[in-house]
Structure 1
Amino acid sequence: MRPRTPTTRATPDRASRRGFAAYLLLPFCLLASAGAAHAAAWSDNLQREVQRIDRDSPGTLGVYVKRLNGGETFSYGSDKFWYLGSTVKVPIAIALLQQVDAGKLKLTDTLKLQDTDRIEAGRLVWSKTGTALQLGDLLKRMLGESDNTAANMLIRAVGEDKVNETARAAMGTKGFEKITTLAQVRYDVYAEIHPDARKLPNTQMVQIAGAPLGPGRVEAVRKALNLKTTDLKAKTIDEAYDRYYKTNVNSATLEAYGDMLEKLVKGQLLKPPSTQLLFTAMKIDIFTNYRLQAGLPRSEKFIHKTGTQYRRACHVGVINPQNGGADAIVVTTCAADLDEQKQAGRVFQQVGQAITKTMLTGPATAAAR
């Protein structure tokens, strides 16, 4: 009788254990599969909606969306640099509040208005030189009213280098260019018309801003500098702004800006009281019915900031930022080469509607929460 060749065979007990383990894992596999399918579904649907909006609208559009509870993202032109406009005021606010959290500044500290702080957009530009304002008041004016003079004063309080250090830490080094004062923006743009514009006092820059954008603004710069038309380096305001935008100053990718907002709502940038203060300043309890928010349900909390400059516009924010961002959706969107008011407003409203349609309605949404 031949000896048997040894074989390894799964005993009934081992086979049963394997089958039972597979049975236990099955729900998790199904959930993972369903989650991946859901992520692909909303992303694909949003892609179609955003492509349609971009196709049917003037200019170019960029959109970045991230659902924080699953980590899924949607990107449409979000890796290119976009001019941020007044959305730079959020990293300025974060830099200020980090200094408050560190005990280096207090919101009750006062700062006196200097002539070099003055620039148009906002009421503070018309206040008397030497007017003392608390940092907390300046923060509210900068975010609530988008007051540019208030922003300049806060940059002066924190330090321009510290503002940029904070922004770079929050956004990363690859997707961010430096932030300047809002007054410097005007100097840089008008210097494209003629370099001597950098020598003008802020008060004269405010006067120039009173001229309508277009030939009237170029003419105002020419008169302020007492130049001939042939002396001008840029003949149109479009040419001046186009040159300025190409420098990528005060610009970032939408992904980088979204990373900053994600860190903010997760509590990684500020202490809880400062985070809540910033949420309030970013209108978490106010329904503005404007731009993105005009396309979102009133029931959804939304912290946000708009940015508007000549033929450029942005709207950035976080839907449902509360609870450490457990159910948050980060949204950053910018548009270029269109009317920065009416046309941009309609485009961003449609983006908000697309997000509502693909991410905030239906049974899949309830399952994702």
Structure 2
Amino acid sequence: MLRWISPPSLFLPALVLALLLTPLSSEADWRQRVETRMTSPPVWMERLDARLALLEAGFGGELGVYVWMLGNEGPEARYGWRDRETWYLASLIKVPVAIELMARVEAGSASLDDRLVLRQSDYVDGAGPTNWASPGSELSLRELLEPMLTVSDNTASDMLIDFLGLVSVNRQAQSLVHDPDGLGPITTLVDVRRHVYSQLHPDAFGLTGLDFIELRELESDEQRLRWFARRLGIERDSLQLPSLEEAFRAYYATGLNGGRLDAFAELLVALGEGRALGTEATAELLAILSRTSSGERRLKAGLGRDIRFAHKTGTQHRRACDAGIASHGEGSAPQRAVVVACTRGVLDVARSEQMLAAVGRAIYESGLFSDVP
């Protein structure tokens, strides 16, 4: 993928040097090379570059952004800011879970009216209505799919992963991207917790979802570490790392549930262009994503009222993401763009949400939907 150099002031000295060092076979050849190398990025990219630089400078953390205009394969339709770095995607991984489920429905091997029994071992901490249901309740696949996406229900997500099989979910995700290294392995949400705490002690894999619900109710990280040590029957000082902060840092380094933003955007493009699913399943899944309520203060808050956004959010310790398909215009052929944005490094979730809203506003005001034909 062609990547523009930004800011433009860095482009010209390199251009001049390249032209001076390039052997010339003819005046026509020289002019062609000059015209090719002088090609500048679209105005919306230059504007977005400048805005993101200012936003990140005042943030205290880092931003990652990727924008891909659907229906345009040229380099002028794709923009990235730290997009080739590995980011923790958090609950964005629930999108390929949903795609795999809808593929089963489309193939006739499952129906959204099929029901699963909620077991006591299924509960995972987090938002959503599934945790309010009693053990033994029968919940339809639709009743699990909707809250998994719209309010990021972790218990619903893990029930669906258990139903589909983790191998199938990972295979589905990998099938939608060209670079298999672009997306890291997906795990269940309860295993996210186990992997984090296993950085402190390997016996963390014996903890249940109910254990992590109890852990979450404690007020401080130190209280959680002491509870964890008591639960394992060991001394607090024998933990392998001194803090949960370092445990999360070690977990993020594993690459689990992580990936590059350009790769995750490719997955969303496959969904938006109808290559991941058929027409009806695509429309149904995008309709559910358009009802997402967990990200009202993120990208959607900045993109503007005339932008429709079918998206999914993700949140974890010092990490926040928002990603989806933004549509502008009425009729049968609106302008559409995949937008993926993440923050890292800042503890305050509200501050990260403000930054994601500012990124949405920067994208909107860059002229993306008016400058790209």
On whether the aligned pair clears a TM of 0.5, the verdict is yes
Q: 1:218 aligns with which of 210, 219, 225?
A: 225
2:116 equivalent in structure 1: 111
Task: Give the one of 329, 333, 349 matched to 2:341.
Answer: 333
CA 1:314 to 1:327, structure 2 compared with 1: closer, same or farther past 3 Å? same
Unaligned runs of 5+ in 2: 1-34
Q: Which structure 1 residue ranges, 4+ long, deviate > 3 Å from structure 2?
A: 36-39, 284-289, 321-326, 365-369
Task: From 193, 198, 204, give the equivalent of 1:197.
Answer: 204
Aligned-partner Cα distance in 1 for 2:258–2:292: 28
- 2:3 aligns to what? none
Q: Which moved more, 1:264-273 or 1:67-76?
A: 67-76
Determine the structure 2 residue equivalent to 1:274: 281
Post-superposition CA distance 1:72-97 (Å, at most 9, x none): 11111001111111111111100110
Deviation at 1:286, TM superposition (A): 7.3
- Segments of 5+ residues of structure 1 without an aligned counterpart are 1-32
CA contact (8 A) 2:118 2:137 kept: yes
> Which segment is superposed worse, 240-249 or 281-290?
281-290
Distance 1:294 1:135, change over 3 A: same
Identical counterparts, % of pairs: 31
Confirm whether residue 312 of structure 1 aligns to residue 319 of structure 2: yes
The 2-side partners of 1:217 and 1:287 are apart by 26
Q: Which amino acid aligns with 1:185?
A: V
Alpha-carbon distance between aligned partners in 1 of 2:294 and 2:245, rounded to the nearest angstrom: 34
Task: Report the count of equivalent residues.
Answer: 331
| Residues in 2 aligned to 1:337 and 1:287: alpha-carbon distance in whole angstroms | 21
- Kept in 2, the 8 Å contact 1:178–1:251? The answer is yes
Write the distance in 2 (CA, Å) between the matches of 1:256 and 1:195: 31
1:97 aligns with 2:99: no
- Cα deviation, 1:59-78, whole Å, max 9, x if unaligned, reads 11111111224331111100
What residue in structure 2 maps to residue 368 of structure 1?
A: 372
8 A Cα contact 1:144 1:281, kept in partner: yes
- Change in 2 beyond 3 A, CA 1:324/1:284: farther
Instruction: Say if 1:325 and 1:181 are closer, same or farther in 2 by CA, change over 3 A.
Output: farther
Provide the TM-score with structure 1 as the length reference.
0.84
Find the partner of 1:164 among 165, 170, 186: 170
Comparing 326-335 with 83-92, greater Cα deviation is found at 326-335
TM-score (structure 2 length as normaliser): 0.83
What does residue range 35-184 of structure 1 map to in structure 2 within 5 Å?
40-71=42-73, 72-122=77-127, 123-172=129-178, 173-184=180-191
Please give the secondary structure, in 2, of the residue aligned with 1:328.
Answer: strand
CA distance in 2, matches of 1:250, 1:129: 28
For the aligned residue pairs, the C-alpha RMSD in angstroms reads 2.3
Select 1:251's aligned residue among 234, 258, 276: 258
Q: Does 1:207 pair with 2:214? A: yes
Query: Contact 1:267/1:324 (CA < 8 Å) preserved in 2?
Result: no
Assess, with a 3 A threshold, how the Cα gap between structure 1 residues 367 and 46 changes in structure 2: closer, same or farther: closer
- Residue 271 (structure 1) shift: 1.5
